[in-house]
Structure 1
Amino acid sequence: MEKPRQNFAGLWNIGFGFLGIQIGFALQNANMSRIFQTLGAELEQLPILWAAAPLTGLLVQPVIGHMSDRTWLGRLGRRRPYFLAGAILAALALLIMPESSVLWFSVLMLWVLDASINISMEPFRAFVGDMLRRDQHAAGYAVQTFFIGVGAVAGSSFPWLLDHLGVANTAPPGQIPDTVRYSFWAGGLVFFLSVLWTVLTTREYSPEEMAAFATSDTVADSPDTLRLLAARGYRGSAIWAGAGLAIAALVAEFGLEKEMYLLAALVAGYGLASAVAIALARAGRENNMLAHIVGDFAGMPPVMKKLALVQFFSWSALFIMWINTTPVVAQYMFGSTDTASATYQEGGNWVGILFAVQNGVAAIAALTLLPLLSKRVGQARTHLICLLTGAAGFASFLVLRDPQALLLSEIAIGIAWASILAMPYAILASNLPQAKLGIYMGLFNIFIVVPQLLVATLMGQVMKALFPGEPIWTMAFAAAAWALAALAMTRVAGEVRQ
């Protein structure tokens, strides 16, 4: 017995909810630096203020992945309860966010918004693998990427469009413009309705149906990760904890930026968590979530480990881009660093258009370029080519000064973005055991989150030390990161099931 082959309408319904999810992300990515600076944040503070977003993903996605693998709520299913809960919370956060009048409250709401988006997003990644047979995985993630691109175009364009419709794009110092406020409110409504569409138009396979599907279309079960975890010693845990304490001591001794304490806490925290997990596994606590998550992390399949390094460098560049594109474009292409000026706000709106172009290109590439390339050279080599194309796009920021010319840069970046959203997940869905698809997709997010946290804690002080007041050089770091991701992808090619 095999999973039924989905027609285009089925693929559409499975992926449609990501339209709203990405609208939420696009509004966050294009506008949070603008909101933070409007409420008084300095340029060097932006990375640590953004740390809320990846940190919530780090904590939320493995937990939701583990829970959704073990959930079955009858007609509501396995993954869909999480889609719906996250959509409701995210819609409320998008409604409240633009009402922020002080910086600390906007940071708090970013935590809430990003946690809510992650509750919806993580099960969607596993949902495609659940619903589709292996030979449709690439198509399923390509359609999902199409909706991500369309949603990002819509979310990024909202403020620019409202500005051209006559909505006020400036506000008194310390207040968020109406273009941003109304965009967030519209985004919250679309987020909820698009996720609701997927919930109402799909039916998940029951545990009995999943067990009956042909094993020829699945990957062999992973080893007993709890047993392997119980056999581990505490030396590794002690090393992680000691490394965290050492980082904290260096920060205190040399007066480094206080943001480094966050990195120290995460490193030491993992050491402590792994020690507790080992103790639980040795005690036979088979139903303990922490032991399962740490055990599955330690027992990741080899292909996933190699692909994790690619993700690390890929998302380092993306986080650099989201934090710094607005300051770069406003300062170098529009000539303003005054966040209260009309010129700065015009630059902020143009960033929305650049992101819209990037995501529009990603949507088109997902349904055209990626299938063509992957058929000819395979999924792994397709990803390598796209990453190198995107690296060239980032490098072009160093020489271009015409805002219109940056559209060419965004086309190159958009091609890479399409591949980042589709190819790694198609590779994973075809190379991971189905019973643990949720937790492995959640753990894979760690290699999206950790580089973002490193950027958040380190990039500010690196720029302050080497290039104070010159954010343009962040684009050089982004280009180098994607070049390294492409190099790491050479280790993945040839080892995956296409």
Structure 2
Amino acid sequence: MQKKTQPQLSFWQIWTVSFGFLGVQFGFALQNANVSRILSDLGADLHSLSLFWLVAPIMGLIVQPIVGAASDRTWNRLGRRRPFIFVGAIAAAIGMFLMPNAPLFVAFMAPMIFGALMLALMDASFNVCFQPFRSLVSDMVPPEQRNIGYSIQSLLINIGAVIGSILPFVLTNVVGLENTAQAGEVAPSVVWAFYIGATVLLGSVLWTVFRTKEYAPKEYYAYKGVSAEAAEAELAEKKSIGERLSDFFALVKTMPTTMRQLAVVQFFSWFALFIMWVYTTPAITQHIWGIDKIWWDSAHLASVAVVPKFVIDAKGAAGDWVGILFAAYSVFAALFSIVLAKLADTLGRKTVYAGALFLGAISYMSFLLFQDLEQVNVNLFITQVTVPAGAVNLLLPMIGVGIAWAAILAMPYAMLAGSLPPEKTGVYMGIFNFTVAFPQIVSGLLSGLILSAVFDNNAVYIIVVAGVSMLAAAISVFFVKEDVSEYEGAQSL
């Protein structure tokens, strides 16, 4: 059928479509910066942290393809993608309220296990939100605005990440809440940060849900050049679970070559990111605050009556500073997102993507260079703190990490979107999430073993491994071939 021209959106319409990402990423940033800290305080030892973090990619692996396929087949009064975004946000907020309160549920189960269950709930819910958001942008934004659409999405993600990452630090150093906790407890600053994050998540998602109007089915199919009758007939077709699984694996088998090639880039990128999220806190606590690795050994912790105050204080200060570092890379990512679309249009997506990943690789490797225990006073405008000079110097590699993060959030989806059949965008975006979840699962299974067996639990060296992985990702970009017409053969599935 003849394809109708999809109307262009105004800047603020594109902004509104993606605005909920700000809140979802706010919650995700709180999780990334604080879950290792929470689980350590609740009793997890160093080499097992990555195993607890496996919950996140496993939830993504299971949830996103299911939600993607379901949202492709959903047309109701609220829309196509928005019902899933709305429900996912409510569930995520519940998990965020409950997780830092794990010690209160000790009568029912061990706090560490309860924390892990709430981590699973949050991650499942974040994934229910994330996947339809990706597809919503693809649905609503016309092809000629795709670079700017995903760049705005990246900008909002990083604004949310900045606020979420820095919040526990602000609550400690500006508001005055306590940032330390004995074993089996969670610091008050972290507890309140999760409460605030849950509120922001709900508010921003509701803004998108109630201020974005998705296209009606026939209008949508006309804009995408798809026969409405054929699409509706397929939606009406009743299939067993076995048949749907068969169709799903057929789609995986016949996925566009662009997706297969991007999967290699994604593997090395997300392998590195997972290591950063899990091990930055222990890495800088050891390497820059000078705390011996024995204080992450659960057996040693169980053998002492009270953890020394200098260890508790250092872990609290380092945990807060990780929030500053993660906020910094998110600031740099947000700034880079502003020029990302223009650079991609001028230099080409592959050049910008590979260059950004290369900067991220060098930045991870440079962590080794910033061991300076001298205490310095730092003015952060909102407050002044005294931290080791090496901690301040780590702000420099955060520039490269932020640039890489902005590119990872935008470029793969911009490169992929043109090669997907419009009536199956949701399920293919869900399949593409395998390339996000699978490398994190591999990283979770291997990084703890590498850390203990190869590096004797000196966590800074596993950050260097992340740099090597990111360098491999940069090289892999040049093997990706973009093809906007490749999906034609898959449309008959």
Is TM-score (shorter-chain normalized) higher than 0.5?
yes
In 2, Cα distance between the equivalents of 1:172 and 1:384? 44
Note if contact 1:381-1:493 (Cα within 8 Å) is conserved in structure 2.
no
Q: What amino acid maps onto 1:124 in structure 2?
A: F
Q: 2:161 aligns with which of 144, 152, 169?
A: 152
Q: 1:46 aligns with which of 49, 55, 65?
A: 49
Query: Displacement, 1:289?
Result: 2.9
Task: Map 1:72-471; keep pairs closer than 5 Å.
Answer: 72-74=75-77, 76-101=78-103, 102-164=111-173, 165-213=175-223, 215=225, 288-337=243-292, 338=295, 341-368=312-339, 370-401=340-371, 402-471=390-459
Q: What amino acid maps onto 1:2 in structure 2?
A: T
Note if contact 2:85-2:205 (Cα within 8 Å) is conserved in structure 1.
yes
Query: Displacement, 1:379?
Result: 1.2
Q: For residues 214 and 290 of structure 1, do their structure 2 counterparts lie closer, same or farther at Cα, with a shift above 3 Å needed?
A: closer
Query: Displacement, 1:364?
Result: 1.1
Q: What residue number does 1:58 align with?
A: 61
In 1, Cα distance between the equivalents of 2:240 and 2:126? 31
Q: What amino acid maps onto 2:290 in structure 1?
A: G
In 2, Cα distance between the equivalents of 1:418 and 1:455? 21
Note if contact 2:58-2:441 (Cα within 8 Å) is conserved in structure 1.
yes
Note if contact 1:66-1:289 (Cα within 8 Å) is conserved in structure 2.
no
Q: What amino acid maps onto 1:149 in structure 2?
A: N
Query: Displacement, 1:293?
Result: 1.9
Q: For residues 180 and 214 of structure 1, do their structure 2 counterparts lie closer, same or farther at Cα, with a shift above 3 Å needed?
A: closer
CA RMSD of aligned residues (A): 1.9
Q: Indicate whether 1:33 and 2:36 are aligned.
A: yes
Q: What residue number does 2:8 align with?
A: 5
Query: Displacement, 1:336?
Result: 2.1
Query: Displacement, 1:214?
Result: 5.8
Give CA-to-partner distance per residue, 1:93-148, whole Å, 9 cap, x none.
Answer: 10001001211110111101100110011000011110011011111110010011
Give CA-to-partner distance per residue, 1:309-366, whole Å, 9 cap, x none.
Answer: 1101110000010011000111111122547611111001000000000011111111
Q: What amino acid maps onto 1:342 in structure 2?
A: D
Give CA-to-partner distance per residue, 1:172-195, whole Å, 9 cap, x none.
Answer: 331100000000000001101100
SS in structure 2 at match of 1:407: coil
The farther-off stretch of 284-293 and 411-420 is 284-293
Q: What residue number does 1:489 align with?
A: 477
Give CA-to-partner distance per residue, 1:146-173, whole Å, 9 cap, x none.
Answer: 0110000011011000001211111333
Q: What residue number does 1:244 align with?
A: none
Note if contact 2:415-2:482 (Cα within 8 Å) is conserved in structure 1.
no
Query: Displacement, 1:476?
Result: 1.6
Query: Displacement, 1:433?
Result: 1.1
Q: For residues 350 and 496 of structure 1, do their structure 2 counterparts lie closer, same or farther at Cα, with a shift above 3 Å needed?
A: farther
Give CA-to-partner distance per residue, 1:397-416, whole Å, 9 cap, x none.
Answer: 02112111110101110000
Q: What amino acid maps onto 1:351 in structure 2?
A: V
TM-score by length of 2: 0.85
In 1, Cα distance between the equivalents of 2:240 and 2:199? 42
SS in structure 2 at match of 1:468: coil
Note if contact 1:303-1:496 (Cα within 8 Å) is conserved in structure 2.
no
Q: For residues 496 and 382 of structure 1, do their structure 2 counterparts lie closer, same or farther at Cα, with a shift above 3 Å needed?
A: farther
In 1, Cα distance between the equivalents of 2:418 and 2:32? 30
SS in structure 2 at match of 1:87: helix
In 1, Cα distance between the equivalents of 2:247 and 2:70? 11
Q: What residue number does 2:305 align with?
A: none
In 2, Cα distance between the equivalents of 1:213 and 1:372? 25
Q: What amino acid maps onto 1:133 in structure 2?
A: P
In 2, Cα distance between the equivalents of 1:380 and 1:299? 23
Query: Displacement, 1:288?
Result: 3.6
Q: For residues 284 and 77 of structure 1, do their structure 2 counterparts lie closer, same or farther at Cα, with a shift above 3 Å needed?
A: closer
In 2, Cα distance between the equivalents of 1:430 and 1:3? 15
Gap runs ≥5 in structure 1: 219-225, 227-282
TM-score by length of 1: 0.84
In 2, Cα distance between the equivalents of 1:373 and 1:128? 20
Query: Displacement, 1:468?
Result: 0.8
Query: Displacement, 1:456?
Result: 0.9
Q: For residues 178 and 207 of structure 1, do their structure 2 counterparts lie closer, same or farther at Cα, with a shift above 3 Å needed?
A: same
Query: Displacement, 1:496?
Result: 6.0
Q: For residues 435 and 183 of structure 1, do their structure 2 counterparts lie closer, same or farther at Cα, with a shift above 3 Å needed?
A: same
Give CA-to-partner distance per residue, 1:281-320, whole Å, 9 cap, x none.
Answer: xx98598432222121111011111011110111000001
* Identical columns (%): 42
Note if contact 2:418-2:483 (Cα within 8 Å) is conserved in structure 1.
no
Q: What amino acid maps onto 1:310 in structure 2?
A: V
In 2, Cα distance between the equivalents of 1:386 and 1:347? 27
